[in-house]
Amino acid sequence: MTEYLKQILSDALTKFELDETPEIQLEAPKDPTHGDASTNLAMTLARPLRNNPRAIATQIIEALEYDERKISSVEIAGPGFINFRYAEDYLYDELASIIEEGEAFGKSELNSGKKVQIEFVSANPTGPLTVGHGRNAVLGDTVARLMEWTGAELDREYYFNNAGRQMRVLGQSVQARYLEILGKDSEFPEGGYEGEYIKDIAQELADEKGVALVDSDWTPFKEKAEQAIFADIDATLKRMNIHMDNHFNEHDLYENGDIESVVARLREKGLVYDADGATWFKTTEFGKEKDTVLIKSTGEPTYRLPDIAYHANKLDRGYDMCIDVFGADHIATYPDVLSGISALGYDKEKVDVVIYQFVTIVKDGKPFKMSTRKANFVTLDELMDEVGADVTRFFFLMRSPNTHLEFDIAQAKEAGEKNPVFYLQYAHARICSILRKAEEEYSFKIEVQLNLLKEDAETALIKTLFKFPKAIQSAAEAREPHRLINYLNDVASAFTTFYHDCRIIGVDADLAQARIALAKTTAQTLKNGLTILGITAPERM
């Protein structure tokens, strides 16, 4: 429809003498009395044509030729908006095609043919996933689903580092607990991991190997810990309905020579130099105040170097778009990565970073500072034990990534019944219940007469359903899943109004059949939307 309106408007504009044709913007007015679609075209033309917007609007409308089967009226309103109203026939034709689409309704070709990779979670295996990782995980997975629904071919990747100081301390922490369990002398490492899960891992080792590891170094402890923690992380992700296609070990970038090659290539371009025993990247060339260390004087790379190599590696794999999901604490690092890859000759427009603000945990009414090392955290598993996976996912998605998310544990636990996710699920379950009853009451003809749907609540609901594909596209493009939630709330709300105003069971068979078709389509839309959010659509509640 939007395309059609743009077409007829631009046809009308050919009758004006314009130096350049303006972009035609169409939007759905907030206030339904302003019609179903509207354009500010006359206002944007006011200046070039040196005429007042309402006069221009009048001329545009005079020049406009439209199909009365699609548009029932065109009006000028306010400062010069041109408002369109859909014809009833159009509504029924569209509804019929939505019914046809079924569980594919909402899909589009916006990103079709594009190979997209999204990297998210990427927590190193030092402990269970916490509520803090939850926002990253759910956001990444949902953006992935949105991209898939707009046609992209998508890979989900988990990037990790199982070497380095953190992992050594982890191994030593397990080692100390292991020795403790066997009653041997042990010294808990400085800054070691204090969580209970460390003891569990040590206990398992003691059960499996007995005293065989008493004289070992920390390596087997690290390996066991890594394996156990990854198994735990995978289980948590699975519980949240998240499946990774790939795990990428930072270590591979060293093994395959990518790290060295990146430094060499940058050096060739004169962007790398040695000073004070370290190797520096000339980030000043890219507008930064200071250059950045790539390799420390100890010979160890800083995290920026593998990050650059990793992104180069991704682009080498042929992705058209690579999306990273980062917490706000990484905000300073990605400009270096972008500088790095564009210096290497890659198109940095192909890397898109989704930054989300921190989750503030509120426990017992107070903000709660978390630390994996100190074992001060709330795990995602604990949270899901309390409120379930659906509520957990929904909670992380309902707000814009760009705003701080306050997660009140007590409220999340208590609020189960009042949580807005139930509003959507309830609407779905309610429709299913009606459909079950209706099947017993009626037997229907083959042909549905959708044109019997003439009540305000009915047409309003139909028009709301139309907006679904656009809601998905908007959420996908902005990488903001909460937009889809807002939309689904509109659907549920429009349905509830319909439910209260229009009975389904008890009216004559033809009308009942038309209303059932509408209810069914609403349920399908809710279900498709919830599927994108990774949330179940229950048939009974």
Enumerate residues 15-34 that contact RNA by CB under 7 A. 27-31, 33-34
Contacts of the segment 220-223: beta carbons below 8 A, 24+ positions apart: 221/171, 221/172, 221/174, 221/175, 221/178, 222/167, 222/168, 222/170, 222/171, 222/174, 223/171
**Residue whose token pair is 């920390």:** 218
From first CA to last CA, the distance across the chain in angstroms is: 37
Distance in Å, CB of 420 to RNA, minimum: 5
Q: Kindly tell me which of 33 and 443 has the beta carbon lying closer to RNA.
A: 33
Q: Quote the DSSP letter at residue 218.
A: S
**Contact mark string toward RNA, 159..188, x via CB under 7 A:** --x--xxx----------------------
Task: By CB under 7 A, tell whether 403 contacts RNA.
Answer: yes
Pick the binder of RNA from 328, 347, 410, 413 (CB under 7 A).
328
Binds RNA by CB under 7 A, chosen from 19, 332, 364, 508: 332
Find where tokens 């990518």 sit.
Answer: 258
By CB under 7 A, what part of segment 370-399 binds RNA? 398-399
In angstroms, what is the minimal distance from the CB of 206 to RNA? 30
Name the minimum Å distance from CB 34 to RNA: 4
Strand partners of residue 524: none
Say if CB 143 and CB 481 are below 8 A apart. yes
Q: Segment near RNA (CB under 7 A), from 137-145, 199-207, 419-427, 523-531? A: 419-427
Which residue's CB is nearer to RNA, number 139 or number 202? 139
Q: Which residue has the tokens 């590696």?
A: 313
Contact positions with RNA (CB under 7 A) in 433-492: 433-434, 437, 474, 478, 480, 482-483, 486, 489
**Lookup result for tokens 């004070």:** 276
Q: Show contacts with RNA in window 109-148 (CB under 7 A).
A: 124
Nearer to RNA, 58 or 497 (CB): 497
In the range 186-245, which residues lie near RNA by CB under 7 A?
A: none
**Distance between CA atoms of 57 and 59, rounded to whole angstroms?**
5
d(Cα 455, Cα 458) in Å, to the nearest integer? 5
Q: Which is nearer to RNA, 445 or 540 (CB)?
A: 540
Residues that bind RNA (rule: CB under 7 A) add up to a total of 87
* Alpha-carbon distance values, 196 to 27, 128, 209, 223, 403 (Å): 55, 11, 20, 18, 33
Query: Which two tokens mark 340?
Result: 């790095």
Task: Tell me which of 40, 150, 459, 522 binds RNA, using CB under 7 A.
Answer: 40
Q: Is 502 in the site for RNA (CB under 7 A)?
A: yes
Sole binder of RNA in the list 12, 53, 92, 177 (CB under 7 A): 53
Decide: is 366 part of the binding site for RNA (CB under 7 A): no
Stretch of residues binding RNA (CB under 7 A), selected from 40-48, 206-214, 228-236, 371-379: 40-48
Which one of the spans 8-16, 37-45, 169-177, 211-219 is the region binding RNA (CB under 7 A)? Answer: 37-45
Q: Is 71 in the site for RNA (CB under 7 A)?
A: no
Per residue, the 3-state secondary structure of 454-471, as one string, reads CCHHHHHHHHHHHCHHHH
Tell which one of 214, 231, 331, 410 touches RNA (CB under 7 A).
331
- Restricting to residues 240-299, name those near RNA by CB under 7 A: 275-278, 289-290, 293, 296-298
Grouping H, G, I as helix, E, B as strand and the rest as coil, residue 303 is coil
Question: What does the H/E/C string look like for 3-31?
Answer: HHHHHHHHHHHCCCCCCCCCCCCEECCCC
